[in-house]
A = this chain, B = another copy of it.
Amino acid sequence: MAGSDGGLLIVGSVALDSVETPSGRVERALGGAAVYSSIAASFFAPVRLVGVVGEDFPKEHIAFLASRGIDTRGLQVIPGGRTFHWKGAYYGDLNQAETIATELNVFRDFNPRLPEDYRRCRFVFLANIDPELQLAVLDQVESPTLTACDTMNFWIEGKKAALLEVLNRVDVAFMNDAEVRLLTGQSNLNRAAEEVRKLGPRYVVVKKGEHGAVMYCNESICFTAASYPLHQVVDPTGAGDSFAGGFMGYIARVGEINEANLRRAVVYGSALASFNVQDFSLNRLKHLTMEEIHARCEEFRRIVHFDPE
Contact = CB atoms under 8 A, between A and B. Distances in A.
Given A267-B306, A301-B308, A224 B226 contact: yes
A110 B189 CA distance: 39
Interface residues of A, number: 41
A289 interface: no
A58 interface: no
Interface string A206-232: 001011101000000011111101111
Interface string A266-309: 11000000000000000000000000000001100101111111
Contacts of A224: 212, 226-227, 229, 303-304
A198 interface: no
A188 interface: yes
A303 B191 CA distance: 16
Contact of A264 (B225, B301, B306): B306
Interface string A232-272: 11000000000000000000000000001001101100000
A222 B309 contact: no
A210 B224 CA distance: 12
B306 A263 contact: yes
Contact of A231 (B190, B210, B266, B297): B190
A226 B229 contact: no
